[in-house]
Amino acid sequence: MSFRRGLDAPKVGRMTIDAFIDALPKVELHVHLIGSASVPTVLELSRRHPDSRVPTTEEELRAFYGFRDFPHFAEVYRAVNALVRTPEDVATLVTGLAGDLARQNGRYVELTVTPYAHHIMGMPMREVTEALDLAARRSRDEYGLQVAYIFDIPGEYGVEAARVTLDHALREPPEALVGFGLAGIEQERPQHRDAFRDAFRAATAAGLRSLPHAGEMNGPEPIWEALDHLGAERIGHGIACLDDPRLVAHLRETRIPLEVCPTSNVCTGQVAHIKEHPFPRLLEEGLFVTLNSDDPPMFATTLSSEYRVAAEVFGLDREALTGLARNAVNASCLDPAGKQTLLAEIDGLPTDPATP
């Protein structure tokens, strides 16, 4: 497996920390298809569909993305999702994200897709899968970015969402489907717990990796549920683990990766201010941490910006940033050869700022 350098990757030489971050090969493990839609793309779709309640000017859209809390974020997310009405729209979003990541020296992404969101818009699963397959090929050919997919259940939609997501994953999976996830408002999951457990049992039996969100907004209990009953191999977010010392010890011992998304947690009100984010403490506890963007245009961030936050706000040096990049590779679903190729490229980037 080979990876092409990002479109605008700078040459390695004497580098500022910004240039180092730009040059660092990156893997994104936690980013959502709808949440990755760029502002211009959302505006184009909202003008195409004036019956929606999504604003049609950039100023109004950025204000629309001012989230009061997670339920408000989920409401806005659903409104944007309602703009995506055809398989061609789905493919456009995937290739748009691929271009954005390639410009950040991204090499590989595990993109979370919510089949139920397309199902309720009336898209046949076969056509959605064909669009995802086409977009993955275009992303590789045009941008040198390898795309893999995770299908996730939107938890607040319950049993029907679990059924539709599993059905799509087993009957009409895209070629690059690697994982099965669970997202949405954590407080609404317990009433559908058995359906989620059954869906994950069937998905993992079919060879998919268990990659649920947990511990973002409702304490450590959803993390235990994900580990004990969903067979989680990674945890999306997971920041609430710090409220349970026994859980921290378990995560440290098992090396279960956490997909941490600092700017997202601030924007959805899970953390009051970026300087108060528990990211440094997660590292101090010796946990396996990766850095991710979640829904970048909605949160006015990028994967590179998250690395800059790690450097400028959390005080990480080049060596620590390299460690985060390596963690993302090692936590990914890439095959061993693909991991080895990317790790070698990351390790080839000098961490000494004085290195010519």
Any idea which residues carry the catalytic annotation? 216
Q: From CA 188, how far away is CA 264, in angstroms rounded?
A: 20
> Cβ–Cβ contacts within 10 Å for residue 1, how many?
13
Q: From CA 96, how far away is CA 140, in angstroms rounded?
A: 12
Say if CB 35 and CB 294 are below 8 A apart. Answer: yes
Length, in residues, of the chain: 356
> Cβ–Cβ contacts within 10 Å for residue 40, how many?
12
Residue 149 DSSP symbol: E
Q: From CA 199, how far away is CA 159, in angstroms rounded?
A: 9
Give the bridge partners for 260, in sequence order. Answer: 291
Compute φ and ψ for 226, nearest 5 degrees: -65, -40
Say if CB 33 and CB 93 are below 8 A apart. Answer: yes
DSSP string, 218-253: S-SHHHHHHHHHS--SSEEE-GGGGG-HHHHHHHHH
**Helix, coil or strand: residue 293:** coil
DSSP string, 298-332: TTT--HHHHHHHHHHTT---HHHHHHHHHHHHHHS
> Cβ–Cβ contacts within 10 Å for residue 190, how many?
13
**Helix, coil or strand: residue 56:** coil
Q: From CA 356, how far away is CA 11, in angstroms rounded?
A: 11
Say if CB 175 and CB 182 are below 8 A apart. Answer: no
Output the CA torsion sign for 153, 154, 157, 158: positive
